[in-house]
Structure 1
Amino acid sequence: MLPKLVIHNSISLDGSTTGFEANLEIHYKILSSYLPDAMIVGSNTAKTGTQFFCEKIPAEEESDFQKPEIQSDDPRAYWLIADSKGILEGLMHVFRRSEYSKDVIVLVSEKTPEPYINYLKERNYEFIRTGADRVNVRHALEIANERYGFKLVVSDSGGVLNSILIEQGLVEEISLIITPEITGRKGTNLFRSLEKSGIQLELLRDEIVEKKYVHLVYRVLKE
C-alpha cells in the first residue's frame, strides 16, 4: 500500500524554487505541522542543503557509524533520500546529525555503485533498493509503508523529484508557501521537468502567514 504523499515547497510568486531567500522557519514549521512519518528528498536537493546545516563538512566520527537511539515519542520524521548514483558518499553523516531527522533511509537502484552500497552498510544506514537504472519511487514508497509503517510522506525536494512524483500519480496534496518576490530569468521552476500537462487541482486551504507569505494547499484531482 502507498502512503499519502504531500509535496511541500516554498516558491517565489512566479513559481521558482531558487533566486530568493525562503523563510526556513515558516517552511519547516508548516511542514512539521503535517506530522509526517518521513520526508522524501532528492540527492541534488540534499547535497545543496548541506550548506544550511554546516559551513564546512565535518569529519566523520565513530558515532556516525552507528544508528542513533530513537525514543518512541520522538516526533521527528525519517528522511528518505533518493540517491541512485551515490553522489552523497561522504556526506550522509551531515543528515544523520541533523536536528530535523530521526535518521536517514536511502533509496537506491540496481545500478547504484557497489562501493556506495558498502559505504551505507559500514555505517548502518537502512536502504531500499528498487528499480533498474533509477529508483522506482512507487515501489520504494510501498516498501517503506510495509517495512516501516509510513502512512504519510512529505516531499521537501526540488523540481526533478517532484515532477516524477506527479508524473507517476503519487501525489495527493501540494502545499506551497508563496514568497512575495519575483525571480525572473534567474529562477528555477518548481515543476520544470514535468512533461504531463492539464493536471487539475482543488484548493483546500489558503492562509496569510505573518502578513507577508501565503500558504496554499491543493488536492491533486485524479483522472
Structure 2
Amino acid sequence: MVDTKGTLLWKKETSSQKPHLIILSKQVTTEYLKYLDEQNIFWIVTGDKHINLAKAMQILAEHFHVNRMGVVGGPTINTAFLEAKLLDEFAMLIGPGIDGRKEMPSVFEGRKDNPPLH
C-alpha cells in the first residue's frame, strides 16, 4: 500500500497470513506511525511531500527481500511507477463492459512528459 499523508485506517488485522506493509512520505504524523505499530503493520517512510518510489523499492529489496512485485492500482499510482521507471512489464486484463463516463479513471493519467514508449 501507498499512503502519502497517512490517512488509511484498518480494523485489527487477524486473518492475514502475511503482514501488511505501507509506504509513506514524511508528511505522516508520529501518531499515525504509532497507530500502524499497534495494528502490526510494517511501514517505510521515504520522500518529503511525495513518496520516493525508487528509494522505497530499494528498501523493499534490501530489508524485505522483495525482488519482484505487482502494482495493482489506479491511474495515479500506475503513472507514478511508470514515471519513476520502475515498470519492466505491463499486463492488462480487459473484461467485457462498456462505460463511457468521462470521470472514470484510465490506466495511466497525467504524465508529466511524453516520451516514446519502447
TM-score scaled to structure 1, two decimals? 0.48
Q: Which residue of 2 aligns with 1:162?
A: 78
Structure with the larger RCO, 1 or 2 (CA within 8 Å, 6+ apart): 1
- Counterpart CA distance in 1 for 2:19 and 2:85 is 27
Once the two structures are superposed, the pairs formed by residues 134-213 of structure 1 within 5 Å of their partners are 134-186=50-102, 187-200=104-117
Give 1 or 2 for the bigger CA radius of gyration.
1
- Counterpart CA distance in 1 for 2:63 and 2:11 is 22
- Counterpart CA distance in 1 for 2:115 and 2:84 is 14
Q: Which residue of 1 aligns with 2:15?
A: 97
The Cα shift of 1:194 comes to: 2.2
Q: Which runs of 4+ in 1 moved over 3 A?
A: none
- Counterpart CA distance in 2 for 1:92 and 1:131 is 27
Once the two structures are superposed, the pairs formed by residues 14-93 of structure 1 within 5 Å of their partners are 81-89=1-9, 91=10, 93=12
The Cα shift of 1:92 comes to: 5.6
* CA shift in 2, pair 1:182/1:197, >3 Å: farther
Identity over aligned residues, as a percent?
A: 26
| 1:27-73 deviations in Å (ceiling 9; x for gaps) | xxxxxxxxxxxxxxxxxxxxxxxxxxxxxxxxxxxxxxxxxxxxxxx
Q: State the superposition RMSD in angstroms.
A: 1.9
- Counterpart CA distance in 1 for 2:79 and 2:94 is 19
| 1:65-102 deviations in Å (ceiling 9; x for gaps) | xxxxxxxxxxxxxxxx111211112x2646x635xx62
Say whether 1:109 aligns with 2:32: no
TM-score scaled to structure 2, two decimals? 0.86
Number of aligned residue pairs: 117
Name the one with the larger strand percent.
1
Amino acid of the residue matched to residue 54 of structure 2? Answer: R
